[in-house]
Structure 1
Amino acid sequence: MAFSDPIDIYCERLGPAFWAEPANALTNAAFLVAAAAAWMLATPDAKRDPLVRTLIAVLALIGFGSFAFHTLATRGAVLLDVIPIAIFIHLYFYAGLRRFLSLPVLTSIVATIVFFVAGLAIGQAGQGKLNGSISYAPAVIGLLIMAAATYFSSSAAAKHARAVPRLLGIGFVFLVSLTFRTIDDAVCSAWPLGTHFLWHVLNALVLYLLVRLLCDTTDAARA
């Protein structure tokens, strides 16, 4: 298998042409809008935070990488799609441990590595299931773990109590977006456009809300 080998795994794609997935390709603009909005609405303190700045930059990269994948549609382009997403997931998990739970740097790094390895195991075990959406199960689990740990942590509960319902709400939106990703192939015969493009729009919203939450937590910590 070569990096140049074509991939056809989405309902909308009917051939190898660059614009064979117009809806899937163009809705990646939602990630760029989300990144721009997150930056413009961030306070000066949040903008100076390295984690916030990096996450916003990666959010924009997700849009470019996914656009490349849905237009080039090759095995090599898959890497442009999945790598920025993986970076965002694991960097945010680390940021959450540091900001919501106030864990030490080393503890947060070790926990993030464990989270990464567990995610790989889940992805391998469920490879091909749920139209490939099983690979995002660790992200859902990570949000739930973060919300539960923040709620039950005596040191974090008072300071970041508002983060818990927001994390749960974001988790719900993420599940809805993941549903649209999962059913793309199943509804194809009845809806040739598919539903993957809705995954892009809602997932961009999820990532924006996550960055906004981190910005608010950063501001609260410095208040």
Structure 2
Amino acid sequence: MDLLRQVDAYCERMGFEFWAEPINAVTNLAFIVAALLAFAVWTRQENKDAGSFILIALIAIIGTGSFLFHTYATIWAMLLDVIPIMFFMLAYFYLATRHYLHSGILQSIVATLGFLGVLLGAPQFIEPYLGSSGGYVPALLAMWGFAAILMRKDPETAKSLAIAGAVFTVSLTFRTLDEPVCAQISFGTHFLWHIFNAIVLYVLTRAFIRFKQRKNA
């Protein structure tokens, strides 16, 4: 793999200068803001759990990695963009299975490994219809799935997960439309994926922080 190979993946990019995607690059600040807001929620809790902090740290890392990708536009920068997102999805799925569903550690690990298999296998079936956005459909379905399971047992968390799922649907729509609308909107719509996705990650993380606080109260 040539880690230095340049990648032109989004409508806004018209060359390979550092600031060739200024809007896509700058809107990664939304992830940093989301991480700071979630951190503020976490610090106000009496019982500060490590799982929540990991999620917060991953949000900040996602913003940093995405900024690097939308500026350097190389394979190594792309890996720094997609790998933290993958880690967040897996970490949240594990924590949701372990705590929302009260599953054992081994059960949660096995379920998360199964989810990883779906994340890796689903794109070949979905991407012909949604492009690279297809790889995120399993995460969307997981949000709706956990929300449905928790609807009666924990309506507050279920509501937050449903909101996150709704916003993520909008987010994925903007990510998918980036290339199709490029002729009409020269800077594309990928930057809206950043903004709405930052909201999704904040809502998910805040939901978990508040869940842990209620359970530890």
TM-score range, shorter chain: over 0.9
1:103 corresponds to which residue?
103
Mapping for residues 1-223 of structure 1, pairs under 5 Å: 1-42=1-42, 43-45=44-46, 48-127=48-127, 129-151=129-151, 157-158=152-153, 160-223=154-217
TM-score, normalised with respect to structure 2: 0.95
- Distance in 2, matches of 1:17 and 1:10, equals 14
Q: Once the 2 structures are TM-superposed, how far is the Cα of residue 125 of structure 1 from its aligned partner?
A: 3.1
Q: For residues 184 and 24 of structure 1, what CA distance do their matches in structure 2 show?
A: 11
Give the RMSD, CA atoms, in angstroms.
Answer: 1.3
Structure 2: where are the runs of 5+ without partners? none
CA distance in 1, matches of 2:206, 2:33: 14
Q: Deviations over 1:174-198 (max 9, x none)?
A: 0001100000011111110100000
Indicate the percent of aligned positions where both proteins have the same amino acid.
44
Where structure 1 has 5 or more consecutive residues not aligned to the other structure, the ranges are 152-156
> Residue 44 of structure 1: SS of its match in structure 2?
coil
Encode CA deviations 1:128-183: one digit per residue, 9 max, x unaligned. Answer: 642310010111111122122223xxxxx43x222112211110000001100000
Measure, in 1, the Cα distance between the counterparts of 2:7 and 2:86.
20
Please report the TM-score for the alignment, with normalisation by the length of structure 1.
0.93
Please name the residue that 1:154 is paired with: none
Distance 2:163 2:86 in 1: 21
Aligned length: 216
Q: Is the 8 A contact 2:45 2:213 kept in 1?
A: no
**Are the aligned partners of 1:65 and 1:81 in contact in 2 as well (CA < 8 Å)?**
yes
